[in-house]
Amino acid sequence: MAKPFSEFDGWLRVFWIFSVLSVVLSIVSAIMVLGLITWDRARSFIGSTILVLYCIKLAPLLIDAALTVYVLKIIRGREPDVPSSVAAILIVAFVITIIFRLLELYWLNKHSEVLSKYQHNVDVFYPLKGILFTAIWVQYFRLSERVKVYYGANAFKQGGA
């Protein structure tokens, strides 16, 4: 039997699980980038151009992890402003990711001659995944009956946090 909407369960719990996984994956990815920096420095291969590229890749991972930890901290509370705050944080995280992705593409294009020796893959579908994730969860926090019951009938304030 399904739990009452007044409990933290259902898709709200799924969002919480996705958020935990996101933090873990962001931290693992950040460690991998730091490992690449260390490995390339040990081989004396890394120059300032590649170091900047690594930092461009590292920054959104750390920012996303920090924002998601904040979401995990507030989401269990029952304050009415939580849904609009979570939606605003999701949008901000998405915008930050897009800005850094564009910066990465700009840097790759600007320094293509230096980076031609460097193996680098750009996931062109990453922004699409971010758009879908953000759109689905923002709408969930706006329209869900469970969110309305759990956080209060007037939980989602139009216009963000």
- Quick check: is 2 in a domain? no
Query: Does residue 161 lie in a domain region?
Result: no
Quick one: average pLDDT of 96-112? 86
**Number of domains making up the chain:** 1
Instruction: Answer yes or no: is 81 within a domain.
Output: yes
In a domain, 117, yes or no: yes
Diameter over CA atoms, the chain: 61
144 domain-assigned:
yes
pTM, whole model, 2 decimals?
0.80
Q: Which structural domain range is residue 31 located in?
A: 11-151
At 161 the pLDDT is 42
Give residue 36's pLDDT.
Answer: 79
4 domain-assigned: no
Has residue 96 got a pLDDT over 90? yes
Mean pLDDT of 41-45: 62
